[in-house]
Amino acid sequence: MKLVVVSAGLSVPSSTRLLADRLSAAVDRGTPVDTEVIELRDLAVEIAHHLTSGFPGRALAAAQDAVAGADGLIVVTPVFSASYSGLFKSFFDVLDKDALVGKPVLIAATGGTARHSLVLDHALRPLFSHLRAVVVPTGVYAASEDWGAEGLPDRIERAAEELAALMPKARRREEEPVVPFAQHLAALGARPGEQAPVR
């Protein structure tokens, strides 16, 4: 199965990337996956060009294809002005509108203070619900004081387990053939234009 991690951290080293790596490692422990990490910092110029020209560069197109082909996503953003970063939002703005439909997504964020932890529910969860993704129940927020403290490892493990449980279901949905409606009617003993018998 393919897991894609989208990290919007800007610095090197980055607490956003550190959280992304811990989340992906926790998923991999429960369900062996092929993991690809997309660093949005490296795509910033191509994202800006896509927004103004409508055409992705080679690296951005590869990232878009990776996200569209993933069985599950981990998305991590630093908190800027009490919300996700502009770079993070811009990347999802340039994805195909159907790229995330039915795709399991684990949302996570990092910030300097625990006061911004609600960003998961007032910004990230609505964004991915709008994109028709399946957002796992547990989001992970890591403030500066959370690193090395109790609680964060448990949240990481719980969120990873929820994502791992949804990924095989997403793969099965993709592999199931679409059955034409007329075939469903025929199985019920009805012809197109007739009502199916009541049973």
**Residue 19 is which amino acid?**
L
Per the model's pLDDT, the better-predicted residue between 170 and 145 turns out to be 145
pLDDT over 70, % of the chain: 87
pLDDT of residue 180: 73
Q: Does the pLDDT value for residue 169 go beyond 90?
A: no
- What is the mean pLDDT of the segment spanning 51-80? 95
- Region 4-11: mean pLDDT is 94
Query: What digits encode the pLDDT tens for the residues 95-152?
Result: 999 999 999 999 999 998 888 899 999 999 999 999 999 999 999 999 989 888 788 9
pLDDT at 175: 53
pLDDT score for 7: 97
- At 195 the three-state DSSP class reads coil
DSSP summary character for residue 121: I
What per-residue confidence (pLDDT) applies to 196? Answer: 53
For the cut 90, the answer to whether the pLDDT of residue 178 exceeds it is: no
Instruction: State the pTM of this model.
Output: 0.82
**How many whole angstroms from its chain centre is CA 23?**
12
Question: 82 near 57, Cβ under 8 Å?
Answer: no
**Helix/strand/coil for 1:** coil
Q: Position of tokens 């709008």?
A: 130
Q: How far apart are CA 116 and CA 109, in angstroms?
A: 9
The string over 15-43, giving b where at least 16 C-beta atoms fall within 10 Å of a residue's C-beta and e elsewhere, is bbbbbbbbbbebbeeebebebbebbbbeb
Give the H/E segment covering residue 21. helix 15-30
Q: How far apart are CA 28 and CA 9, in angstroms?
A: 22
Q: Rounded to whole angstroms, how far apart are CA atoms 199 and 188?
A: 10
How deeply is 131 buried, as exposed, middle or buried, from its count of CB atoms within 10 A (0-12, 13-18, 19+)? middle
Largest CA distance in the chain: 65
Q: What is the mean pLDDT of residues 165-175?
A: 67
